[in-house]
Chains A and B, each alone.
Chain A
Amino acid sequence: MALLEVKDLHVSFNTDDGVVRAVRGISFEVERGKTLGIVGESGSGKSVSTQTLAGLTRGATVSGSAIFDGVDLITATPSQRRAVLGNKIGMIFQDPLTSLHPSYRVGWQIIEMIRGHDTKITKKQARQRAIDLLGMVGIPFPSQRVDDFPHQFSGGMRQRVMIAMAMALDPALLIADEPTTALDVTVQAQVLELMRKVQDEFGTAIILITHDLGVIADVADEVAVMYAGTIVERAQRNELFAAPHHPYTEGLLDSMPSRVKRGEPLRPVKGVPPSLINLPPGCVFQPRCPYAFDRCDKEVPLLGPVSRSELHLSACFLAPSTEEREALRQRRLGAEAAR
């Protein structure tokens, strides 16, 4: 059985402007020791879906299930959830500059985490553990820096501290919500390297959220592509990059400058993502889809296996064949030109 099994997770928010349906029926599994990459544009529901697992989306309406280690995180009582959080699930967030409490020393923050779950450990031991952890994540002179305040660290180092904290109790799952987006490439490489190292060492499963396909290509085992609150495609990394099925995945890959030759224009996905309050009918991607046909705005495609592989799921009515797709695209372009 998978370490984490999420089934049909829905999350919505009541706002003044209407109900924001941030996550709409997503399902995925995370295997022990593996990395699931979730990729998608801003606002596609990546953070909401993972934070819901940790009970961090307050005021949201949630349904579905998320079985972690035999506990359904969605229906768990706060104390049940707390026993898991931090202890078995570690989390790191996007902005290392604001994710640590500015008024407490980093050591204190790590020790709090340790002692919060391990009541037997002495203060001294916890402190030693914090120093060890800081050393492990590559903070130089950890025994001195353990008493520094977060603002005395650089962004990359703070993210390392966050990782150290998340890993403090050797969790089975690490949820990393865009851990490197705020960092420079060289530092990003450092952090990704560190996560890889940690995973190798502890066999931790990782959910890595990012909107950078490059990062995904680097570290993920399996990839889920999110669009407007749903997972539109799920596949093993190589499969996804080599043979994307969903037009959105395809568009994302094509948008990347590295995918085209210099001098040639890029092939962007046209248009912008829909509002989560007023979703288009049928397939949510249909208004932007170059292949859209009649069925697309009438029926909602479900995530299902693509014929080529059982492990490759996609929510699209299209057949996988490229010729057919191209024909559809031309037809649609012709129709638009005629209009």
Chain B
Amino acid sequence: ITLTACGSSSGGSTANIKSTGLTVTILYRNKSVGSTKAFQVIQQELTNAGVTVKGLPASNADFYTKYLQSKTAAKAGQFDLAIAGWGPDWYGDGAASFFLPLFSGEQSFPWNGGSNFGLYNSATTNQLIKDAAAATDPATAQADWAKADRQVMQDAAIYPITDPQTANYHSKNLGNAIAIPSLQQIDPLNVTKTGADASTLHMLGVGDVDYMDPSVTYYSTGYEAMRFYSRQLFTYPAIQGQTTKAAADLATEIPTQANGGISADGKTITIHLRPGVMWNTSPARAVTAQDVVLGVKRSCNPVQPFTGQSDFSGLIEGYSAFCAKFATDAGKTPTVASLKTAINNNELSGVTAPNATTVVYHLTQPASYFVSMLAGLSAISAPVPVEYLNYLPGGNDLAQHTISDGPYAIQSYVPTKSIVFVPNPLWKQADDPIRKQNFTKVIVDESGDQAAIQQQLQTGSSNADMEWDTFPPATTIPSLKASNDPNLIITPSSSNNPYVVFNTASPNNGGAMAKAAVRQALSEALSRDALIKVLGGPELNIPLSHILPAEILGSQQFDLWAYNVGKANSDLIAALK
């Protein structure tokens, strides 16, 4: 009862499959049903192509820290393939958000904070990335990114699987439901509600924010919470069709070369803050440019540094040096006091506040996507009040003492259980083009259950309005879709594009994984359709055969390594010779 004997899949004839002699170890997260399923599909597909497959299950914690981010694990060949995922840190002009952390052989290895888990390093690609990143004009940049995309796929650096769509569901009482990809949710700050209890918004979820700290938070749920109480220079508006386009929030306008916001060399970006935006401190205080600088500085605190640093650490002038100095000055056992001293005594040359309403970013090289990036990463675009220095960054103490410049303030926060937002009286609609203050109370219940939340939303109970961090169960999508349920919203999101990592540094099989031909053949052995079926079905998954998904500028459609088991087998044998 060998698997091959039964295999009669659509990917070509399996009649003449020979053993390739290749044995690969696939790393997956056994606590994730999706990862485990994908592993099993890949295992079968590769076995069909004559490859011997071993599984390496890892807990969520070990998955990254023990394997993917470990210099030694990859080089020791502890895994050959891994099932990972990547979502862009910002949208729109976001190609850099894929290529910099994933494929740049110069700066994006995992131990530099990137996610180049397969240790892919190609001079050609590196150059293309460099060119694209340094382009001052978007059109050039996009052309370069497209080239890089092709190059990476030519090298079969990874095997992209799908561009997943996000399904969101809300109750029938909810109006103006517009999903924002960066939140992976309907924007709670723009929805309206009718029916009973229309002044309270009930959000139902299954989990918590990563951090309640704008300088540290990195994941979408954190951004969703921030949207209530913390404003950024730029953010995504809840306008149909523009939800991935940066819009001015605290900033008065989008800086361009035309309006003088971007210097001619593209390396200096000057942003003006909207006046009159206040912190809800007592006494109330205006939000200043210094607060923005403080936010950026806090992002590299040694206690809980911002996870997305790799996106910009080489880009903002003096950032890396500042971080290093910060860590040393804070001491071996950083305390609130030592952190405060360290942050106040060191200057970050790359971000300055010439006056209370002007922030200037100094870049090491031009980056046409920088404004887009500021919209995506709150760590370098959200002001924080000085009071935050009285707490450890990212800690629970701070989370209990947040200060708001947004439409709502946190009334109560029980980690993993609930958040209650109440209106911030100091916020003025006139000063905020992005958010609305439609409710007298927003209640987030974080301790729900996916199926139950769906049931509550579908039955339209008055205390279930929208999702917080969960989605309709994938198994229900086909029927919801079939019944044309108006409360179901499916948005392109690029939220977490799953892909297969090829560990190019693996010494296993005589270093076979280093050979592009081997990776190409392995790519041919994998069936995207089969994978998509187990990852939520085609309704939620657009097959993605290259790096950049459709909603990212520069994306082009091509598929270099079409599924063909027979060809994969013979190609593998040839490649391994």
Direct contact of A and B (CB under 8 A): no
